[in-house]
Amino acid sequence: MNSVSGTLYFGYFLLICTTNRQFFSVRFYSIIIIFCIGPVWMWATHNRAGEITYRQISPLSIEMTITTYTKASSVAADRDSLEVFWGDGAKEFVKRNNNLTRFEANDVKVNFYIATHTYPGVATYTISFLDPNRIGGILNVNYPNSIDIPFFLSTTFTLLDQQFQGFNNSAVLLQPPLDIGCVGRLFIHNPNAYDADGDSLAFELAVPLEDVNKPVPAYRYPNEIVAGPDNTLTINPRTGEIRWQSPKLQGEYNIAISIKEYRNGRLINTILRDMQILIRACENTPPLIESIDEICVVAGTRLEIPVRVSDPDLGQRVRLFATGGPFTINDPAMIEGPAFFTTVPFDAKLVWQTTCNHISNQYYQVVLRAVDNFYPDSTGLAFLKSIRIKVVGPAPENLKSKSENGVIRLEWDAPYACEQTANQYFRGFSVWRKIASHSMDYDTCNPGLTGSPYQKIVFRTTQTENGKYVYTDTNVEKGNTYCYRVQAEFARLTLTGNPFNLVESLHSNETCIQLSRDLPLITKVSVTVTDRNNGNIQIRWTKPLAGDLDTLQNPGPYRYEIERASGNSPFAPVPMAIIQSPFLASPVDTNFFDNSINTLENQYRYRIRFFANNQFYGLSPTASSVFLEPEPSDQKVTLRWNAEVPWSNYNYKIFRQGEGNVFQLIHQTQATEYTDINLENGTEYCYRVESEGSYAIEGIENPLFNFSQIRCTKPLDNVPPCPPIVSVSNVCDELKSNPDISGLFNTIIWNDPRALCPSLAADLASFNIYYSEFSNTGFIRIASVNRNEARRYFHFPPTGLSGCYYITSVDESGNESAPGNTVCVDNCPFYELPNTFTPNDDGKNDVFRPRINLFIASVDFKVYNQWGNLVFETTDPEINWNGTTRNGNKLPDGTYFYTCKVFEKRVAGILEIPELLSGFIHIIRN
């Protein structure tokens, strides 16, 4: 009971008492409460759900829309205007647009309050409004007095620098914040947020507010009402889809959803939506929708996505709805299928002819909603299916390269398929370069070269010559192999023409070229002998081309000096690794074997210093050996390797030593990691890796093969077993009839984890039990139980019953698992007061104290005489009142009224019980 209704009641109660000179029964007392509080409920009940959105109409002005969903039958509480706080110190009453008002099923009225406002400058602002009342009876908001809790909405947004950052419109929420579910059935909802600016969105569950940064009191998430292991509530942070597994109690619930908007990693908007969920006790199953989850397509593709609608309940009809960004833009999507309640099953199609204007780095989301006609008003349970669609820019085609007078010229096809777009959305092409080739697959869902080994060397070009797009790279050096890709780029523009929210297309094919081959190129660095002292690596290289070297300006003799480095050490000459020839065409052995080195533990890098006419001319690119590192584990070995080479390695063969010390091929991969499984612990296994690669240059040896060193290791058991699943029960139910708190204990039970992970739990040895007294932190081990003992443990906590538990598994090697599930239990708060005591100093019943006091932290206990005057109060749960006033004066025999708020001891701290204890106390001295 709030203070206002309490005052109304008590004043009326005393008036009756004064007139009739007697106290009324508890039953009549209850009638008075209903009589006095009833009128407050009748005028106050109002808000169900809502949100604040806006669109930016000029650099410093916005048009705001507050959308509220109210109780239609609460006519007395209808608001024709709302007081809006703009966040810059200004406020105003905004009238409702009655032309947009609509009424919906389940006693719902939808209201729109629209107004414009101009801000003093670029900054972050918060728009908000507060209404005095929510609807009554919300189970998870200050139950049972949610009617007295204010309804508060806010949206925080940033006005950006128009010259460089562009307009900032809020997301729009296309799915209404009201939905219906059934007890025990999966509930699904999606706000279906869409941002026309192309900003990224993230979603979080939040606590509803009653004022600025002030959560509503006594709030519990819906799954905490009749909590249980199958009663869970989650939100997908990427899509916003909310899933509530198995609601337990029928009634109305409210949740808040925080929709956060990011641009280039910076948070620029936050919408706080307040949503209501109605859970009914119904013998009904929601319909089903079968379709794809996600698809990525190249702009210009016509999408025809099949949709199948059915319903497990025979005889029901179902209607299919669809919302989402693709339905709100030019060249929109459409649903082909029945547009009314139809006998199931039926088929429909989501059809969308995509265009270049639809290209985006964010997914479009379509929410399909199938609703049955279970209830007489043609409403019923709904099933939601989200489909994510990404539209990407096509790849530039036929990229080619050629060397011209010391520069490299690139060209590719014109016109480009998406160069004609609205609002100059197509910005041009960027050029990306890498030394040495790199294989890349086309990933339609993750286009672009950002994050790849290529570096952007041109941010924007649209130059054309002779019907081709062209670019000339002048920043090139001899001896390097340059590989190129290009991509198209799209962006929205600020008022001054600066781009924001850049979107990358699929990348082009790769083209590689060497400016001139006037230096040696290493083609092999392969380990031939693995040894700590007498290892051997074969090095092979190609000589420069005579035409590129210009032997007239750089005559012989020629000299090749091989240099080597390992780790962080500098390059140094390799002994006996100098090769000379009088002429470039003179035959020389371009193979060299580097001996007496530690190939077991070291990776070596090589380069060749080239001299012409005894003058230093240049260095070859550096190339290293393939270096293999094994990581043993339980019945497996994970192999990882790396090589720093100027060519592109595109395949690796893994060999394992078998019978007769012969290495046998066991796997091939494009990755640089492989795990060999089903091995025997303690047995030695030896491996080597062979890389396969290419320079992708005509005239160079192709493919290139190089071996790693040989590495041996033994698998060992270092993997812990799976943790068990724990459950905890206590003796709460028995305590009410037997309040003796001595010997209180919690019963801990857990499963056998070997059933879940038989391969990891074969050597299970024991279980460790951990306990935390106050919260879900600071755990200590309280017991260890052998695997052959009963999986049950009785714990006698030092104070009360509250605490949290988890259990780990330990194997015979001493490996301990991570914690399993954590289970927390509360004390059993129980508080019962007598109605009579005899403070006559006879040593019997002289003090008023609770009959039962279990796990109560404090109370707010007050006693009033028949005139409504406070005569005694305390916060001590034991009360210990001897029948005197606060001044120590003895009170006369008679009947007194008391109120008592009780605060329980809980795991997470202090929690107020919503109910207010009250009653009568009889003082009898004679």
Q: How confident is the model at residue 30 (pLDDT cuts 50, 70, 90)?
A: very low
CA pair distance 170, 164, nearest whole angstrom: 18
Please, which residues bridge with residue 267 across strands? Answer: 262
Residue type, 99: N
The per-residue pLDDT for range 334-371, each reduced to its tens digit, is 999 999 999 999 999 999 999 999 999 999 999 999 99
Q: Is pLDDT of 908 > 50?
A: no
Angle (CA) 832-834-835 rounded to 5° is: 135
Average pLDDT over residues 808-825: 90
Least confident of 15-24, 411-420, 439-448, 914-923: 15-24
Using a pLDDT cut of 70, give the percent of the chain over it: 91
Mean pLDDT of the chain: 88
pLDDT computed for residue 227 by the predictor: 82
CA pair distance 500, 490, nearest whole angstrom: 9
pLDDT computed for residue 374 by the predictor: 81
Average pLDDT over residues 791-796: 91
CA pair distance 521, 549, nearest whole angstrom: 13
| Phi, psi for 485 (deg, rounded to 5) | -140, 155
pLDDT computed for residue 639 by the predictor: 97
pLDDT computed for residue 497 by the predictor: 83
pLDDT computed for residue 380 by the predictor: 80
Distances from the Cα of 119 to the Cαs of 67, 126, 360, in angstroms?
A: 22, 12, 30
Within a 10 A sphere around the Cβ of 699, how many other Cβ atoms? 10
Q: How confident is the model at residue 583 (pLDDT cuts 50, 70, 90)?
A: very high
Burial bucket for residue 475 (CB in 10 Å: 0-12, 13-18, 19+): exposed
HEC sequence for 767-779: EEEEEECCCCCCC
Q: Are 806 and 821 in contact (CB under 8 A)?
A: yes
Using a pLDDT cut of 90, give the percent of the chain over it: 68
CA pair distance 926, 918, nearest whole angstrom: 25
The per-residue pLDDT for range 130-156, each reduced to its tens digit, is 999 899 999 999 998 899 899 999 999
Average pLDDT over residues 649-664: 93
Q: Is pLDDT of 519 > 50?
A: yes
pLDDT computed for residue 96 by the predictor: 96
The per-residue pLDDT for range 501-511, each reduced to its tens digit, is 999 999 999 99
Q: Is pLDDT of 223 > 70?
A: yes
pLDDT computed for residue 699 by the predictor: 80
Least confident of 27-36, 41-50, 465-474, 898-907: 27-36
CA pair distance 314, 15, nearest whole angstrom: 61
Q: Is pLDDT of 706 > 90?
A: yes
Burial bucket for residue 279 (CB in 10 Å: 0-12, 13-18, 19+): buried
Model's pTM, two decimal places?
Answer: 0.64
Average pLDDT over residues 903-908: 64
Q: Is pLDDT of 307 > 70?
A: yes
CA proximity to 375, closest of 139, 176, 180: 180
pLDDT computed for residue 738 by the predictor: 63
To which H or E segment does residue 532 belong? none
The per-residue pLDDT for range 51-77, each reduced to its tens digit, is 999 999 999 999 999 999 999 998 888
To which H or E segment does residue 27 belong? helix 26-44
pLDDT computed for residue 911 by the predictor: 47
pLDDT computed for residue 740 by the predictor: 58
CA pair distance 508, 275, nearest whole angstrom: 46
CA pair distance 111, 100, nearest whole angstrom: 7
Q: How confident is the model at residue 762 (pLDDT cuts 50, 70, 90)?
A: low
Distances from the Cα of 9 to the Cαs of 149, 862, 886, 895, in angstroms?
A: 20, 16, 25, 19
Going by the DSSP 8-state scheme, the letter that residue 719 receives in this structure is -
pLDDT computed for residue 28 by the predictor: 29
Which position has the higher pLDDT, 624 or 778? 624
Q: How confident is the model at residue 862 (pLDDT cuts 50, 70, 90)?
A: very high
Which position has the higher pLDDT, 302 or 498? 302
The per-residue pLDDT for range 255-296, each reduced to its tens digit, is 999 999 999 889 999 999 999 999 988 888 889 999 999 999
pLDDT computed for residue 743 by the predictor: 64
What are the DSSP calls for 778-828, one per residue?
--EEEEEEETTS-SEEEE--SSSS-EEEEEEEEETT--BPPP---EEE---
The per-residue pLDDT for range 365-386, each reduced to its tens digit, is 999 999 998 876 656 888 999 9
CA pair distance 669, 659, nearest whole angstrom: 24
Q: Is pLDDT of 775 > 70?
A: no
Q: How confident is the model at residue 438 (pLDDT cuts 50, 70, 90)?
A: confident
Q: Could you report how far apart the first and last alpha carbons of the chain are, in Å? A: 36
pLDDT computed for residue 31 by the predictor: 31
Q: Is pLDDT of 5 > 50?
A: no
Q: Is pLDDT of 435 > 90?
A: no
Q: Is pLDDT of 570 > 90?
A: yes
Q: Of the ranges 427-441, 470-484, 602-616, 737-751, which is most confident?
A: 602-616
CA pair distance 846, 844, nearest whole angstrom: 5
Please, which residues bridge with residue 859 across strands? Answer: 902
Least confident of 105-109, 745-749, 907-911: 907-911
Q: How confident is the model at residue 734 (pLDDT cuts 50, 70, 90)?
A: low
Angle (CA) 56-60-63 rounded to 5° is: 35
CA pair distance 647, 441, nearest whole angstrom: 18
Q: How confident is the model at residue 517 (pLDDT cuts 50, 70, 90)?
A: confident
Residue type, 143: Y
The pair of structure tokens assigned to 388 is 């994510």
Q: Is pLDDT of 13 > 50?
A: no
Average pLDDT over residues 414-436: 93
pLDDT computed for residue 315 by the predictor: 84
The per-residue pLDDT for range 98-115, each reduced to its tens digit, is 999 999 988 999 999 999
